[in-house]
Amino acid sequence: MPHSETACLKISPKQYQQQRISPTPFVNFITADTPAPTQARTRDIFQRLQDGDAKTLYDSYVTDDVHWTVMGTHALSGVYETKQAFLSQPTLRISVMIVPIKLNITKIIRGGAEDWAVVKMVADARLKNGKPYNNVYSWSTRWKDGKIVEVHAYSDGLIPNSA
């Protein structure tokens, strides 16, 4: 049956409210067969960035045809239709500015049965001029079959522009 606005009106407001306050625990919706990995597994995967091993993360957990959008209007922003395009453009530009970068995970947000997970990170690096590079990142990642197929990456655009 196609989706329509009237399909949403099949229950009364009272029934809707009762469903909203249902005591069903969220843990029932977080299972190993959901498209996005669990929080613990997501942390394990992204730990590679914290350990300075981005290559393994990209090689093992990002599809070749990933759709990667770096949000903003700064030097690193843009839309990249493949892993190769992403790795050859923004990472090349940032590698000119920064002595090896490590991204420390600060938060992982995962929505139960959703295929999206959000990973918040803080850069731990120095610019080649010696100044600290403490950019904050938020990557909204969409998963399929255990791999990242789409990323919306957010960061402080003033830092790359001023380096």
- CA dist., res. 47 & res. 4, Å (int): 42
pLDDT at 91: 63
pLDDT at 144: 93
Widest Cα–Cα separation across the chain: 63
CATH number of 28-162: 3.10.450.50
Helix (H) or strand (E) holding 133: strand 132-133
**Residue spans of the chain under pLDDT 70:** 1-34, 90-98, 111-112, 157-163
| Predicted TM-score of the model (pTM) | 0.72
Across the strands, what pairs with 116? 142
Find all residues with CB under 8 Å of 39, minimum gap 6, and list them. 108, 110, 117
pLDDT at 96: 58
pLDDT at 17: 41
pLDDT at 15: 44
- Domain definitions of the chain by residue range: 28-162
pLDDT at 64: 98
